[in-house]
């Protein structure tokens, strides 16, 4: 079964985290675009923290079972943004992953101040509710996962637009050529981990994830 590896406290934790983290991520995109003079997100009803405006069924399911996922993309008008600044689209794209990083940093504060124990976070939950330390640790891990996953330079992830801004012209042309195939490539990478036992995302994101967790929680 799809959820056979997840206990009830973990499912409850991820549902709570899903509502908060994906909503803040997409709101950050909408807010940044609005600040750069693009009214498109506001007109589409995306300048809100209401999860119902942002959540995507498949992306939410992936977050529940795999600790990474996605929400409905915030519509933006690149031409309106470019009239303000060439870097505007890059900043709008970066706003989402940056918001997840800030959420992770804030949530790590209780661990750094020893208000909650990391050992308690790994203890088995009693009942159906997660422990506070377990919930906070899961919140940090998922937000770091969302940040790192979205920084991968493949369309339709945020990292593609960020990379496009910094890459030299020859590399930008490569991004343009593979852009139509980005979703298919991502799907194949997901399948490789789920069905073939070769977790590409784990290989790519595992080391930076461990480094960030140590920095945020242990110092």
**What is the structure's pLDDT at 4?**
45
Does 197 reside within a domain?
yes
Mean pLDDT on 128-154:
90
Structurally, the chain folds into a number of domains equal to 1
Work out the mean pLDDT of the chain and round it to a whole number.
88
Angle of CA points 60, 61, 65, to nearest 5°: 120
**What gap in Å lies between CA 47 and CA 61, rounded to an integer?**
23
**What is the structure's pLDDT at 112?**
93
Q: Which residue has the higher pLDDT, 27 or 120?
A: 27
**Alpha helix stretches (DSSP H) within the chain:** 8-35, 40-43, 57-66, 78-84, 88-112, 118-121, 132-150, 158-166, 169-178, 182-194, 200-213
Look at the block and give the residue holding tokens 């194949």.
188
Angle of CA points 71, 165, 76, to nearest 5°: 40
Domain span at residue 149 reads 8-218
Give the residue from 142, 123, 139 showing the smallest Cα distance to 131. 123
Mean pLDDT on 46-64:
86
Does 3 reside within a domain?
no
Give the catalytic positions in this structure.
Answer: 26
Task: Evaluate if residue 139 carries a pLDDT over 60.
Answer: yes
Mean pLDDT on 164-172:
95
**What is the structure's pLDDT at 1?**
39
SS3 assignment, position 55: strand
**pLDDT one-digit tens code per residue, 199-211:** 777 778 889 999 9
């Amino acid at each position: 079964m799809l959820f056979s590896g997840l206990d009830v406290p973990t499912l409850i934790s991820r549902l709570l985290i899903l509502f908060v983290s994906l909503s803040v991520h997409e709101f950050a995109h909408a807010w940044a675009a609005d600040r750069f003079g693009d009214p498109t997100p506001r007109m589409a009803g995306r300048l809100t923290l209401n999860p119902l405006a942002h959540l995507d069924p498949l992306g939410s399911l992936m977050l529940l079972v795999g600790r990474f996922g996605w929400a409905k993309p915030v519509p933006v008008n690149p031409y309106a943004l470019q009239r303000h600044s060439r870097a505007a689209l890059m900043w709008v794209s970066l706003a989402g992953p940056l918001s997840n990083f800030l959420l992770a940093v804030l949530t790590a504060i209780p661990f750094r101040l020893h208000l909650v124990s990391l050992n308690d976070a790994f203890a088995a939950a009693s009942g159906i509710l997660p422990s506070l330390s377990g919930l906070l640790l899961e919140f940090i891990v998922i937000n770091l996962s969302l940040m790192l996953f979205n920084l991968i330079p493949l369309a339709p992830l945020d990292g593609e637009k960020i990379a496009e801004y910094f890459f030299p012209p020859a590399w930008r042309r490569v991004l343009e050529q593979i852009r139509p195939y980005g979703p298919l490539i991502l799907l194949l990478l997901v399948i490789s981990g789920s069905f073939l036992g070769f977790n590409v995302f784990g290989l790519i994101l595992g080391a930076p994830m461990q480094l960030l967790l140590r920095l945020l929680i242990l110092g």
